[in-house]
Amino acid sequence: MTTIANNLQQVNDRISEACRAAGRAREEVALLAVSKTFGAEAVAEAAATGQRAFGENYIQEGVDKILALRQQLPFALQWHCIGPVQSNKTRLVAEHFDWVHTVDRLKIAQRLSDQRPRDLPALNVCIQVNVDGGETKAGVAPQDALELALAVAKLPRLRLRGLMSIPDASPDFAAQKAVHSAARALFDQIRKALVEAGIPGAEGFDTLSLGMTADLDAAIQAGSTLVRVGTGVFGGRTYPPA
């Protein structure tokens, strides 16, 4: 068994155990393997084990891998943009990714909708919320998230799927769970409001993207439906010079 295959097995075992501890079914929580800074060959190695969903933070790097692996693999992968999206990169995201987790402005959502090719399914979108008010974190403020969600849900080439948050690191399980639970409460509030507003497709608001390698156990306890794991799958990263 390769290192990546072994890591994936360990991460999936950890997710299963966290689900058991939370009284949840394993199929309620999906694994997004975060492949930023790792090459297409590492993604292919993970895909060979059955992993199909991959997250990329750097848009051009992600597009290069998407195009390369589309030619190499006999099956389709699902690609999630989980990094910041600037206006000059919306077309790349709209044309190549299946999901984007980091919508925090209506302007970006509108550009993604306008630029999504007509021959592709609607782009799955999560709204990024700065749930704990971290000064260095992106995301819409919690009190503004519902207004943004209602606007995004009306855009024709997007499919609003849920919320994403990356809170500041917390020192222990209880603190981690508390901040993730705040995101879960906001998720439930927005989903209820979408249904009450009669928004078409409101039942598809089903994704709570919370938790990474360090805090996935607490995120699952709080209700995460998708955990984003990078180092736990691919190992430590080496970043290029700034």
Q: Identify the CATH number of the domain in which residue 172 sits.
A: 3.20.20.10
Query: pLDDT at position 170, please?
Result: 86
Residue 57 DSSP class: S
CA-based nearest residue to 209, from 109, 139, 120, 143: 139
107: buried, middle or exposed (CB in 10 Å: 19+, 13-18, 0-12)? exposed
Quote the domain boundaries for residue 95.
Answer: 3-234
Compute the CA torsion angle 57, 63, 65, 67 (nearest 10 deg).
Answer: 160
The tens place of each residue's pLDDT in the chain, 242 residues long, gives 789 999 999 999 999 999 999 999 999 999 999 999 999 999 999 999 999 999 999 999 999 999 999 999 999 999 999 999 999 999 999 999 999 999 999 999 999 999 999 999 999 999 999 998 877 788 999 999 999 999 999 999 999 999 999 998 888 999 999 999 999 999 999 999 999 999 988 999 999 999 999 999 999 999 999 999 999 999 987 666 55
Within a domain: residue 242? no
Within a domain: residue 240? no
Within a domain: residue 214? yes
User: Within 10 Å of residue 9's Cβ, how many Cβ atoms?
Assistant: 12
CA distance 165 to 143: 14
Within a domain: residue 134? yes
Secondary structure of residue 101 in the 3-state scheme: strand
Q: Count of alpha carbons within 13 Å of 4, Cβ hemisphere only? A: 19
Within a domain: residue 241? no
71: buried, middle or exposed (CB in 10 Å: 19+, 13-18, 0-12)? exposed
pTM for the full model?
0.95
Within a domain: residue 38? yes
**pLDDT digits 0-9 by tens, 7-25:** 999 999 999 999 999 999 9
Within a domain: residue 239? no
The number of domains in the chain is 1
Within a domain: residue 91? yes
